[in-house]
Amino acid sequence: MRLSFRTGRAIARLLFLVTLGGIGGVKSAEFNLRPGQPTMDRQMYPFTFDGGTRPLGFTFGSFDPRFDTRDGQLLLGWDTAGLVPTNLPPSRYLLKRLRLTLTVASDGSFEYDPTHDAVWTYATNQPGYVADEDLGRPVELAGAGFRGGFTAATFLENSPYGPLGPISGSNISIGTRNAHAAVHGLDGALMDISNNVGQTNSEFTGEVFEIRPWAVGQVEGLAPGSPVLEGTPMHFDVDLEDPLVAGYVQAGLAEGRLRFFVTSLHPAAQSGFGGVGAYPLFYLRETLLGTAPKLELEGMAVGDDDTDEDGMPDDWERFYFGNLGAEPGIDSDLDGESNLREWRAGTNPRSLASVLVIRDFKEEVGGVSFRFGTAPGRRYEVETSGDLKGWEGALGKLTFPEVGVAEWVEEDPRVPPVAPGVRFFRVLSRE
């Protein structure tokens, strides 16, 4: 007999919060970095063969069907090993603030737009086109993805732009650059966004998809729509409220290197794209006259020390509460989970919205589905049981349909669509 309501309640109560033990000897550190110029910065554009050593970089779009729509991209990297402990489980890096600042090197070549423009505002020749409602185009920040056998560790200022070979269509064309701007897709993995806008001509058949940038460039004290002058600092405050973005930064700190892309779709100076170059230039670290890109990063690497022996590490308590006074059994933010359980789940004990509970439970023919809140740097596993004693991995699909929300959909051929019987589920949050 199937008792869906009871099954749902059982699921909600049976949520397990698990951290892997045995880390042992994790060193702690509070970090407040301002490491100065990047370890590497690089123009990613098919026709700048000095991409890694040039003093100025640019961002723009192209609707030439031979090239990525995000044609001119900037890769920025800071190596953090030696400044922040490496190789901790990613969720041990608690992040307070991450800001990149680039200094504008062009003088009035583009207008300030501090907000994201919908993807369809760029697709001028397509049926879905909508007009841009505010003057100018934003400069945006994303993560970095690699291909061609490269990784963040091996792609350097002098690594090849694309596949090796003569300069021709094959090694500069769409989707071939070895490093590219990326954001997380529905499956939680990084995906290339170089061509999310499609093209304004009939030769392009790629899919148009919206992206959520990790930051939009902000200029203090400048009215939106104003020309941006040379020497203007532009800030990018990374959206650490998105667990997937924060998780990317955490994984980078664990590895000892952070990599980001600056990208925009300002018109390049090409016919067919307005014919006017109206895109931003930024100083890179090789500049002699300007200001190199800067990184500011504040956070805490959580060690194992627990001097008040309440099960919650000192660093974690200090980061969230400012002292060691947090009570393990108290629910400080009234989200239903105690402080101790929030430590174990990797959620924020001072945020009502950050909590690991199952919700939106649905039972339909073919299986159950439910959603749960996610935390940065965690891996989630769903397990199932018929008797609450033996547990095994549940068969299904995990996606991330909203910021901070995971959805699990059961896809288990062993479960009969009619009278499937009582099943219990639990979610494991892994460090």
Smallest gap from Cβ 314 to Ca ion, in A, equals 5
Smallest gap from Cβ 296 to Ca ion, in A, equals 26
Cα 164 to Cα 413: distance, rounded to the nearest angstrom: 46
Pick from 324, 342, 316: nearest CA to 17: 342
Smallest gap from Cβ 311 to Ca ion, in A, equals 7
Q: Report the residue count for the chain.
A: 431
Cα 152 to Cα 157: distance, rounded to the nearest angstrom: 11
Smallest gap from Cβ 317 to Ca ion, in A, equals 5
CB of 341 or CB of 426, closer to Ca ion: 341
Question: Any idea which residue has 């935390």 for tokens?
Answer: 375
Beta carbons of 181 and 265 less than 8 angstroms apart: no
CB of 104 or CB of 144, closer to Ca ion: 104
Smallest gap from Cβ 349 to Ca ion, in A, equals 5
Adjacent-strand bridge partners of 104: 282
Q: What secondary structure does DSSP assign to 164-232, as a single string?
A: SSSSSHHHHSTT--SEEEEEE-TTSSEEE-TTTT--SSTT--PPP-----SEE-B-TT--TTSBPPTT-
CB of 43 or CB of 348, closer to Ca ion: 348
Smallest gap from Cβ 120 to Ca ion, in A, equals 12
For residue 149, count CB atoms less than 10 angstroms from its CB and return exposed for 0-12, middle for 13-18, buried for 19 or more: exposed
Adjacent-strand bridge partners of 317: none
**Backbone phi, then psi, for 314, in 5-degree steps?**
-55, -45
CB of 134 or CB of 230, closer to Ca ion: 134
Cα distances from 304 to residues 307, 341, 343, in angstroms, run: 9, 16, 12
Smallest gap from Cβ 185 to Ca ion, in A, equals 25
Cα distances from 147 to residues 51, 169, 189, 195, in angstroms, run: 18, 18, 14, 15
Smallest gap from Cβ 111 to Ca ion, in A, equals 8
CB of 352 or CB of 388, closer to Ca ion: 352
Smallest gap from Cβ 279 to Ca ion, in A, equals 14
Pick from 87, 141, 140: nearest CA to 250: 87
Give 316's Cβ-side CA count (13 Å radius).
30
Q: Strand 139-146 vs strand 257-264: parallel, antiparallel, or unpaired?
A: antiparallel
Pick from 249, 227, 10: nearest CA to 136: 227
Cα 338 to Cα 249: distance, rounded to the nearest angstrom: 27
Binding site for Ca ion (CB under 5 A): 113, 117, 132, 134, 306, 308, 310, 312, 331, 333, 335, 337, 347, 351, 354-355
CB of 41 or CB of 314, closer to Ca ion: 314
CB of 315 or CB of 410, closer to Ca ion: 315
CB of 75 or CB of 240, closer to Ca ion: 240
CB of 235 or CB of 350, closer to Ca ion: 350
SS3 assignment for 268-284: CCCCCCCCCCCCCEEEC
CB of 52 or CB of 217, closer to Ca ion: 217
Pick from 189, 203, 178: nearest CA to 63: 203
Q: 144: helix, coil or strand? A: strand
Smallest gap from Cβ 351 to Ca ion, in A, equals 5
Pick from 268, 122, 145: nearest CA to 196: 122
CB of 377 or CB of 396, closer to Ca ion: 377
Smallest gap from Cβ 354 to Ca ion, in A, equals 4
